[in-house]
Structure 1
Amino acid sequence: MSFDRIKEKLSILADAAKYDVSCASSGGKRANTNKGLGNNTGMGICHSYTEDGRCVSLLKILMTNHCIYDCAYCVTRRSNDIKRAAFKIQEVVDLTINFYRRNYIEGLFLSSGIFKNADYTMERLIRVAKKLRLEENFNGYIHLKSIPGTSDELMREAGLYADRLSVNIEIPTISGLKLLAPEKKHEDFIKPMNKVSTEITKYQSERKIIRSTPRYAPAGQSTQMIIGATGESDWDIIRSATYYYKKFNMRRVYYSGYVPVLSDARLPSLGSQVPMLRENRLYQTDWLLRFYGFSVQEIVNSQHQNLDLDIDPKLSWALRNLEHFPIDINTADKRMLARVPGIGMTSVSKIIQARKFRRLNWSHLKAIGIALNRTQYFIVCDSKDFYTKEYSPETLKQKILKNSSTKYKKYFDGQLSLFS
């Protein structure tokens, strides 16, 4: 096949893959042995980010944008009049190797529209990974999308060659899925998730006894939800995400704001794109639940079903629970330190370590990197007390926002504030 045709396919199928955000490559470790090609040590032509903030490059494409389903929200849906294309198995292998040799990428993120049926599609994805591992001796990162409804046998094989597997739950609730994707069944998404979770546990247990046992999906599994295509509240979304974390031991749940590219009576109007800030607030909440000791009910509940867009969820919680503050920075336990706006987990560790040697004041906290323009209203330390109990939650909120510099607000509302 001509170079021009391959280039055309790449243009079509890379563009079709851009709506899938669940391609972080953190967590995988595959040593390069026998002078093989590539190396994956926790890193993964899209840019993705590892858990420690490093940027990695992945060849992110669909095997094909042909699909037997007609989901309302999907640009590759059966009824959409778009140019279709499909890669051959060897073409994907060659592209991956050639891009890697040129130092364009560090791994492969491979998804696909569903053609013929789930098993036929998944088998082709597995054959790509298998060829890369066994024929090309490729040790770089591979992320395969699990096709809903795939048999257990194929899911087991997929995890032996891929570093991470993921099946997108797509819509946060079953009712939303029935509305926008009536041809799909919720249980078809759950089945491969359950198999991957079971196999990961099984292989991990066997490796404790037999060290030669191969690794199964060493970077775990993830899923993705489309936000804003249906009317779910943030409470609905977070409860759903929490279920998948607990039930299937997900490594990550990704939140993708609905992008209106198709006109459909069941969807929001084409001009009503979900604000990126809503995605950010969901990721911040996800971080608080996973690493800061918060419960779902503390962040969102029946009385507070949607996250505030103008302030982050930790500050929102603090303003709704001012009776817990101020805390003494020199005596408070780790749990309460982590709940103070402006103090991240790294700073919590620094505070606990530093106060072993002396009582901390504002200068010490500033040197540690604490965001005092927020923190000062929620703590006392070995300095003048800036906290004023007469502030109402709304007054304090406006004061904090007003005192935030333009530069800080950009940081505060950006992805880096996930860690604060």
Structure 2
Amino acid sequence: MDIASKLSILADAAKYDASCASSGAPKRQAGAGAVGSTGGTGICHSYTPDGRCVSLLKILLTNFCIYDCAYCVNRVSSNVRRARFSTDEVVNLTLDFYKRNYIEGLFLSSGIIQSSDYTMEQMVEVARSLREDHGFAGYIHLKTIPEGSPELLAAAGRYADRLSINIELPTETSLSTLAPEKSIPQIKRSMGELRWRIEEGKEAKAAAKATRSLSGQARAGGARALRFAPAGQSTQMIVGADAADDRTILQTADQLYGNYHLRRVYYSAFSPIPDASSKLPLQSPPLLREHRLYQADWLLRFYEFRVEEIGGSDGSGMLDLDIDPKMSWALRNPHAFPVDLNTAAKEMLLRVPGLGIRNVKRILAARRFCRLRVQDLARLRASLTKVLPFVVLSDHHPRRALDNTDTLRARLTVVPKQAGLFD
């Protein structure tokens, strides 16, 4: 099979993995003749139909797999075309694509062939060759295999900017039913291994920097600490392949953030696959559910919400699809509003629908010098439709807007009729 045919099969097989962002990767010190960058300009980006930005060569090493995960199109019992790259082919493709300015790095995953350790060895060899043989300074993300040995996980982190281990499903019961070869305790053990190595790398880097500073050595002159996955680790959960509700998914994500210091948890809506198991749903969940989970995830990480506070209006554990999670919380807690933007604490400002972190910082800075009015809020380009029912300003009070939250909800969730092309 020629390279083009392999690329067609193995790039298509990788599209189900959502966790391919390159955020958080620091610039590498590229020497003479080095190739690539994690943060330069001139990188061509492409976009998937659901809006994800893809600026990496995102492929599988192979779609052969000895596992039989019911939700995976590449499972051993699946009737799909199979292909496999050699390590040299992946290295050459990455370099060729980068030199043509198509990509800024590599996202490499794989089916399990022969054994977990054998597969990990092949993936680590790709990263090693790019770094050591070709001086590649671009971004590398390796999807590691939880059953791989600690030594191979350590080797992967020396060459990759980010590592990820997919937890796949939020509960052990669901995973044992749909992916019997996988185990959440094993996945978490490997996440723990990565966590302490990442933290050890950060501590060694800080110690080396302090030593250079005390000794007065130039930045380029002192010994550098070995880096280990400087962009951290991430994971992915499939949404809608099992019966888990959104609160269960968010509880699992919150535990992963707290216990393993993950950089990101990605959510991927389940897509029906050919010859699917009867254990799987016949239809995929609405993509809007995936979007709401990302919004709720953001509230957990940056807006000081707790999982218990995030949910839908019906108490079912599912997020509302017609309004975002922050608006949903506000409508369920009208007693917390209106909030005076001129006096309220930062924690409460973060809970006002329509106000993001950046605008909250600007409000806190501006009100030190003047009392805020509606026109000041308009200058922040905040959504006045969302914000004004929940806030007090020098020249605005919502009066009785929150007395009937059902009416307010209906007004805030009206979808305008799409205008024609020439309207």
**Same fold by TM-score greater than 0.5:** yes
The aligned residue for residue 222 of structure 1 is 234
Moved more, 90-99 or 356-365: 356-365
Query: Is the 2:334–2:402 Cα contact (8 Å) retained in structure 1?
Result: no
Offset of residue 395 of structure 1: 1.4
123 and 42 in structure 1: CA distance in 2 versus 1, 3 angstrom threshold: farther
Q: Which amino acid aligns with 1:288?
A: L
Q: Residue 274 of structure 1 is aligned with which of 275, 285, 304?
A: 285
Q: Over aligned residue pairs, what C-alpha RMSD do you find?
A: 2.2
Which residue of structure 1 lines up, in the alignment, with residue 218 of structure 2?
none
Helix, strand or coil at the partner of 2:255: helix
Which residue pairs with 2:179 in the alignment?
181
Does residue 1:23 correspond to 2:35, yes or no? no
Distance in 1 (alpha carbons) for counterparts of 2:118 and 2:47: 29
Spell out, residue by residue over 1:140-172, the C-alpha distance to the aligned partner (whole angstroms, 9 max, x if none): 000000112011011011000000000111111
* Counterpart for residue 247 of structure 2: 235
Q: Which residue of 2 aligns with 1:352?
A: 364
Asked if 1 retains the 8 angstrom alpha-carbon contact of 2:19 and 2:235, the reply is yes
Report the equivalent of 2:335.
323
The corresponding residue for 1:5 is 2
Please tell me whether the aligned partners of residues 44 and 101 of structure 2 are also in contact (alpha carbons under 8 angstroms): no
Q: Pairwise mapping of residues 128-147 of structure 1 onto structure 2 (< 5 A)?
A: 128-147=126-145
1:313 and 1:42 map into 2 onto residues whose CA distance is 35
- Summarize deviations over 1:333-382 as a string: whole Å, max 9, x none: 11111100011111101111111111111111111112111111111101
Secondary structure of the structure 2 residue equivalent to 1:376? helix
Cα distance between partner residues in 2 of 1:121 and 1:135: 20
Q: Kindly, what percent of the aligned residue pairs are identical?
A: 49
> What is the one-letter code of the residue matched to 2:195?
S
Residue identity opposite 1:132 in structure 2: L
- Deviation track 1:102-134 (CA, whole Å, cap 9, x = no partner) reads 111110000000011111000100000000000
From 345, 348, 368, give the equivalent of 1:333. 345
1:54 Cα deviation after fit? 11
Task: Kindly state the Cα deviation for residue 195 of structure 1 after the two structures are TM-superposed.
Answer: 1.1
1:190 shift after superposition: 1.8
Shift of 1:405: 4.8
Conserved 8 A contact 1:122-1:147: yes
What runs of 5+ residues in structure 2 fail to find an aligned partner?
Answer: 210-223
CA contact (8 A) 2:36 2:137 kept: yes
- Between the aligned partners of 1:48 and 1:201, the Cα distance in structure 2 is 33
Q: Distance in 2 between matches of 1:405 and 1:330?
A: 32
CA distance in 2, matches of 1:25, 1:360: 38
Give the corresponding residue for 1:415.
none
Relative to 1, partners in 2 of residues 1:387 and 1:304: Cα closer, same or farther, differing over 3 Å? Answer: farther
Contact 1:281 1:307 in 2 (8 A): yes
TM-superposition CA deviations, 1:261-309 (whole Å, max 9, x none): 132110001xx11111000000000001100111111113994511000
Q: Secondary structure at the match of 1:41?
A: coil
Residues 92 and 128, structure 1, Cα contact 8 Å, conserved in 2: yes
The aligned counterpart of 1:196 is: 194
Are 2:311 and 2:329, in contact at CA under 8 Å, matched by a contact in 1?
A: no
**SS state of the match for residue 234, structure 2?**
strand
Gaps spanning 5+ residues in structure 1: where?
Answer: 409-420
Task: Classify 1:123/1:48 alpha carbon distance in 2 versus 1 (closer, same or farther; 3 Å).
Answer: farther
Match of 1:98 among 74, 96, 101: 96
